[in-house]
Amino acid sequence: MITDIRQLDPKGAGQAVVWRENELGNKKKLKLTIPHTIPGEQVRVTVEKPHLRRWKAKPDEILQASPERTEPDCPHFEKCGGCVWQHWQYTGQLRQKTNHVKQALESQGFDPDLVQDTIGMDDPWRYRNKMEFTFSADGELGLHEQGNFRNIISLETCLIASKDMVEATMEVAKWAKDYKLKGYDKDKHEGLLRHLMVRQSYETGEMMLALFATEAPTDHLEVAVKGLIERIEGKFPQVQSLIWLENTQWADRTQAEKTHVLSGRDFIYDELLGYRYRLWFDTFFQTNPTQAQKLVELAIEMGQPKKTEKMIDLFCGVGTFSLPFASRVKELAGIEIVETSIESAKRNADDNGITNTYFLAKDARLGIDQVHETFGKPELLLLDPPRSGAGGKVMRRIGRSQPERIVYVSCNPDTFATDIKELIPFGYKLESVQPVDLFPHTYHVECCALLTLEKTN
């Protein structure tokens, strides 16, 4: 079957529509999802079950290629689920991300011309400071196959992680094979090794290797563990945190019930805009430090914080935005539901000599009420919610709070657009939206937006 790629689905795969007649002469629509294609391309694809309404398949042949198509640099592309757009020139990726933000806003009645061109990277490779790899049941270490979460692609390289991170990962993979250690079988719920998390600060150079396993590193594992410590300490002096984490839960997540420090400490130091942060294995921190710095600078530029003002940082995490803003306002209150993140935010503020912050472990909506009672009304509010967005209740609570300026940092243009629509009845105007590319070669895009209060309700 020959078809034209018209658009992309929410995960960055090409989409096409084919109309065909059945035996009764009625027209039936077949929606095709075709990964690794670009809008405007013509492709040949095999549909094995044409009677279905939807079908997903890789293209058999690109008959008419986009002028923006390029040869992927990574040998694992099309199999590994880490990247989906390496076949697309970077300029095209950025244009698509800009259009995504524009379409999301236009669907909620906003002017798409408020959206600026996406800020990209000078070098869109080796940008990640954190990677999570998974062990297969036979002990291979890699990333999940695209579209098949249960299959692990064994890696020989990764072009979006630093070379140090890749080399350390390959060393752990070799160690597991040398000691014949089994990976965790998700179906049988048996096996030892589950995940390897690698973090590295681009500023300090410090690296963390966090190994998730179903048992403690004792008894019959002592020889293997000693071998791991010797290898890492001998070859990777930048590893300041080598930890073994027990995870006996069935859920396939990088979580832990107990932490064993094999070498160094249980955290590493990182820096952003001159502020120092402690990062544990479960600390949320922007994974692209180069673009994260631009994002924080952009938020400061939009928010125009003043030394006479109070400010709320909603969904503050460990204080990524809180610390730079706190240095520019009279007082700052950070609100975050995760208690460990709040404890980290307090510690990070202390480490940086910042004394005008007040951090609260609370649900966002209830936290705003409590902060108003103890802290007062802020002139400036920043929020950086998860991909699911802040939600209508939180946004309406923000609207009733009537801060003069709102800076919204988003990692999901669709939930961002629906969220800020809730602010319009409270007298807010969307001033500008600036997308920033933190995840080259993927469909993800972040954006930073400014809303100002036009009238008091």
Which residues have a catalytic role annotated?
411
The span from the CA of 347 to the CA of 327, in Å, is 16
The span from the CA of 111 to the CA of 417, in Å, is 11
Any idea what the Cα angle at residue 202 is, between residues 73 and 95, rounded to 5°?
45
Q: What's the start-to-end Cα distance of the chain, in Å?
A: 58
